[in-house]
Amino acid sequence: MSLLCAKRPLDLCSSYMPPSKSRRTDVRLYQALDRIAPLPRSDFYNNPTFRVGPWVMNGGQRSQQFHSPQPPAPPPIAPSRLLPNATSDENEDVEMDDAPADVTKPLDSSDADAYSRLLRASTTDLCRDIQPGGEYSTITLRMKDFIKGVWRLARLPYGYEFACDTLVWFSISVLHRTDSPFVYMLNSQRQSIYFLLDDAMLYIALEWWEKSAIWDVWTVVKDIRLGLSAGKVEWWERGSYFAKSLEFLLESQRVFDVRTMVLLVAGHRLPPELTDQVSGYLLYHKGLPLTDVKTKHDWRSNVARASTTTAASSGTSKACMR
């Protein structure tokens, strides 16, 4: 069984009846699974499909060390430059005139790392030369082109993580520049701009979850937390600073880890139906969603679905009244 199914919705969760919490805990369940006859020590332990997630089996012992051969690693991401003065050259990523010639070319690169640097170099001065009184409308208008560029970056090979990192970089290094009018804007306007960035990251992450077989988002979570700790985001803005994105990333990572561990421990010993039941048991006792995580966090589809349902119910009520 491939671990590609570790992220799919549980087929039997809709009919799953959770037992009483006083019966078993997930620890007891792991102990019971360990007492089952061990798997034959064959090529299962070196099967690349079982190297997904935080655990691999090594001679019957769970380990966080991956076996060779390793899958091709994505290109390294440059260290997050959340603050303009975070590097030895304080004007790096700040002045377009100081950028190399190849960085100032049009955004036509197909490499995620190169395109990310191009996008940052072309966006650094986004908040400059804004007329007084039109700060909010000008910034939101310019951000539309920036977000389009981030979406193009996300759809390049290995581009999703670069896209999320670029959004966090923009929220600190561009919005909070010394010459940016963002800090003088109304609280509601600042929260609205943060919401645009949060919404872009959320739907990039939802698409990433849909297409990726390996789910490891701790780098993105670390970038968001670095942005929060940079001293630029006020305490009353924390509820709109990538809040929805962070909630989805953390919850989806926990769901993926649970399903991956169940497949590693019992994937070859139990039929798929029972494996889904075990996953549902553990997800319930950890307070995680039993249905698809994407469906839960896709608020646009949920709002549209609720509106359609309300309109249908209203139409039915009017027909009955007639």
Report pLDDT digits (tens) over 168-226: 999 999 999 888 899 889 999 999 999 999 999 999 999 999 998 889 999 999 999 99
pLDDT at residue 214, rounded to an integer: 86
Higher local confidence (pLDDT), 169 or 313: 169
On whether the CB atoms of residues 248 and 202 are closer than 8 A, the answer is: yes
Distance of CA 35 to the CA centre of its chain: 36
Whether pTM exceeds 0.75: no
pLDDT at residue 270, rounded to an integer: 85
Which residues fall within 8 angstroms of residue 297, CB to CB, at 6 or more apart? 202, 206, 244, 247, 248, 251
- State the average pLDDT for the chain: 74
- Bridge partners (DSSP) of residue 62 are 57
pLDDT at residue 35, rounded to an integer: 53
Per the listing, tokens 């010459």 go with 179
pLDDT at residue 6, rounded to an integer: 59
Q: Which of 23-37, 42-56, 133-147 reaches the highest mean pLDDT? A: 133-147
- In this prediction, what percent of the chain has a pLDDT beyond 90? 41
On whether the CB atoms of residues 266 and 3 are closer than 8 A, the answer is: no
- In this prediction, what percent of the chain has a pLDDT beyond 70? 62
Statement: residue 166 has pLDDT above 80 = yes
Per the listing, tokens 């169940």 go with 262
The answer to whether the bond into 69 is cis (omega within 30° of 0) is yes
On whether the CB atoms of residues 45 and 268 are closer than 8 A, the answer is: no
Statement: residue 235 has pLDDT above 60 = yes
pLDDT at residue 311, rounded to an integer: 65
pLDDT at residue 95, rounded to an integer: 34
Report pLDDT digits (tens) over 21-48: 444 445 454 454 455 434 443 333 344 3
Q: How far apart are CA 196 and CA 233, in angstroms?
A: 15
Kindly state the tokens that stand for 261.
């561990």
pLDDT at residue 110, rounded to an integer: 79
pLDDT at residue 161, rounded to an integer: 94
Between 14-23, 90-99, 160-169, 193-202, the lowest mean confidence (pLDDT) is in: 90-99
List phi, psi (to 5°) of 254: -65, -40
Between 15-24, 26-35, 88-97, the lowest mean confidence (pLDDT) is in: 88-97
- Bridge partners (DSSP) of residue 57 are 62
Higher local confidence (pLDDT), 311 or 221: 221
Distance of CA 194 to the CA centre of its chain: 16
Kindly state the tokens that stand for 249.
């990333």
pLDDT at residue 272, rounded to an integer: 86
Helix (H, G, I), strand (E, B) or coil at 93: coil
On whether the CB atoms of residues 39 and 269 are closer than 8 A, the answer is: yes
How many C-beta neighbours within 10 Å does residue 60 have?
Answer: 10
Higher local confidence (pLDDT), 88 or 306: 306
Q: How far apart are CA 174 and CA 121, in angstroms?
A: 11
Per the listing, tokens 């909630």 go with 247
pLDDT at residue 134, rounded to an integer: 86
Q: What letters, b where the CB count within 10 A reaches 16 and e where it falls short, cover 17-31? A: eeeeeeeeebeebee
pLDDT at residue 73, rounded to an integer: 56
pLDDT at residue 94, rounded to an integer: 33
Confidence of residue 13 (pLDDT cuts 50, 70, 90): very low
Statement: residue 83 has pLDDT above 60 = no
Q: How far apart are CA 193 and CA 306, in angstroms?
A: 26
On whether the CB atoms of residues 93 and 84 are closer than 8 A, the answer is: yes
Report pLDDT digits (tens) over 61-72: 444 443 444 445
Per the listing, tokens 């979406």 go with 151
Report pLDDT digits (tens) over 255-283: 999 999 999 988 778 888 888 899 999 99
Statement: residue 229 has pLDDT above 60 = yes
How many C-beta neighbours within 10 Å does residue 95 have?
Answer: 12
pLDDT at residue 305, rounded to an integer: 76
Gyration radius of the chain's alpha carbons: 24
Q: Is the dihedral of CA 262, 268, 270, 273 positive or negative?
A: positive
Q: How far apart are CA 157 and CA 36, in angstroms?
A: 41
